[in-house]
Amino acid sequence: MSKNIRVQIAKRAEKEIKNGFYVNLGIGMPTMVANYISENKNVVLQSENGLLGIGPYPSEDQVDPDLINAGKETVTAIPGASFFSNAESFAMIRGGHIDLAILGGMEVAENGDLANWMIPGKMIKGMGGAMDLVHGAKKIVVIMEHVNKAGQPKILKKCSLPLTGQRVVDRIITDRAVIDVTEAGLELVEVVEGYTIEDIIHSTEPQLIISDKLVLKKTR
C-alpha cells in the first residue's frame, strides 16, 4: 500500500474521533491517525502499554527511545500525559473507558467478526491488546485495504483466519469505501473518488446494502 493511500485512510479515520474522546490506536496504520487529529478537538490517546496522552510522531530531535507505543514505535507525549502499568491500562480498556478503538484488519466478516492478530504458520510477537479492545471499547473502527495483494476481497461472508473477536466491528474504512456493520447487513455509506458503487460491490464478497444517504467522497 502506498504512503498516499495510507494517509488517505488515516485522515478519513480521524473523522470518527469526536471532541472529548478517549481513543486507542492499534498497531500499524492506525497509529498514523495521531498525526491528523484536528487541533480543535480535545482528544486523549491511550496506549495499552501504559501511556495516556500520546502526541504525534516525533521529529528527529524529539526522539526518546524510552517513549514508545504498543507497536514499539517512538512517540511523543502531550502536556499532562501520564504513565502507568500495563495492568492499569487494561483495566481502563476492560472497564469500558475507551470511547473508540481504531484497529487494522486482515479480514472482516459481514456479521462484524474481525481477524487481525495472526496468520497461521507465520511468526508473531503476541496477540497484543486487540482481543481486549474489541470487547472493551465502546466503538470499533477497522481500517485496511479493501482487497489483498492478490486482489481478493478482505471483507468476507466469513473470516478464514483466526478471530480476534466475534460481532465486534462497527465500521470499516478502506482505500475504496466506508461500510457500516448493521443488523441488516453491510451498508455502503461512502465511496472514495475514483471508484464506483459497482467497483465496491465487485470487490466485496458479501452483498451490500446501498445507503439512502450514500456519499461520494473526494480524497483531496
Residue 209 lies in a domain: no
Dump pLDDT digits (tens) for 40-97: 999 999 998 899 999 888 999 999 998 988 888 899 999 999 999 999 999 999 999 9
Q: Which range marks the domain in which residue 67 is found?
A: 3-168
Does some domain include residue 192?
Answer: no
Cell, residue 28: 500499524
Residue positions annotated with a catalytic role: 48
Domain membership flag for residue 109: yes
**For residues 46 and 92, is the Cβ–Cβ distance under 8 A?**
yes
List all residues 6 or more positions away from 134 whose beta carbon is below 8 Å from its beta carbon.
Answer: 101, 103, 114, 140, 164, 165, 168, 169
Name the domain count of the chain. 1
The reply to whether 193 falls in a domain is no
Q: Report, as an integer, the average pLDDT of 145-161.
A: 97
User: Within 13 A of 89's CA, how many CA atoms are on the CB side?
Assistant: 23
In a domain, 67, yes or no: yes
Q: Residue 199 domain-assigned? A: no
Q: In whole angstroms, what is the distance from residue 112 CA to residue 165 CA?
A: 9
Whether 173 is covered by a domain: the verdict is: no
In a domain, 123, yes or no: yes
Taking residues 121-136, what's their average pLDDT?
82
Residue 42: Cβ within 10 Å count:
11
